[in-house]
Amino acid sequence: MSDDISISKGIIEQLIDGQIDDDNLERLLKLPKKDSSRFFNYIKVLQGRVRWKDKILLRLSDKLYIVSQGTGKRITKCECGHEFGDYRSNWKLQSKVRVRKTAEEMKAVYDPKPAVPEAGWQEIREYFCPSCATQHAVEVVPPGYPVVMEMLPDLDKFYSDYLGKPLDDAASDWYQDKTSDTTSNWG
Ligand SMILES: [Zn+2]
């Protein structure tokens, strides 16, 4: 049994690093039954790779997580430790932003050239961690378009209904967009 766990941990690490070989990948795809604890094994590997102790609830992107800091505190956090606040408020509003508006600025990051967005009609917004400068997200939108909230997961539903392990601080008011709380403080 312990062999199974260590194999699956190694495979998960290879998956995360994008280094899994074709044979193992095919084996995973053809498993007659999915490993029911695969999500928690995945989280365990991720948890072992960060330097902080907050409990990872979900991975949002390569280096961005929703974590629990104890009852009633679920925040968005960078791998480097930078905290973006309550996960229900769009973390992008707490990030460093670079906007590419001109054709020249956009051409610098687009290939092939015909795919470059049209200046004036679209802009590229790049969102960075204020502490480690990791680029966490990019969006291509019309100028003036609201900052895109990429994901607002219903964590309680996911943990209770899909994983069968409800979170300790489950409550009905978790699942809501709190971004306007952040912007209302800007005034
Ligand atoms: Zn960071």
| Contact between residue 55 and residue 61 where contact means Cβ atoms under 8 Å apart | no
Alpha helices in 97-186 (DSSP H): 103-107, 155-157, 179-184
The arithmetic mean of pLDDT across residues 15-29, rounded, is 88
CA of 118 to the centre of ligand 1 (A): 31
CA of 4 to the centre of ligand 1 (A): 34
CA of 49 to the centre of ligand 1 (A): 14
CA of 36 to the centre of ligand 1 (A): 32
Share of the chain above pLDDT 70, in %: 96
| pLDDT at position 32 over 70 | yes
Q: Give the C-alpha separation, 137 to 83, whole Å.
A: 16
What's this model's pTM, rounded to 2 decimal places?
0.88
Burial class (CB in 10 A: 0-12, 13-18, 19+), 105: middle
Q: Give the C-alpha separation, 122 to 35, whole Å.
A: 43
CA of 5 to the centre of ligand 1 (A): 31
- Quickly count: other Cβ atoms within 10 Å of residue 88's Cβ: 22
CA of 56 to the centre of ligand 1 (A): 15
CA of 60 to the centre of ligand 1 (A): 13
Average pLDDT, rounded, for the chain: 92
Break the chain into its structural domains and give their ranges.
1-49, 94-141
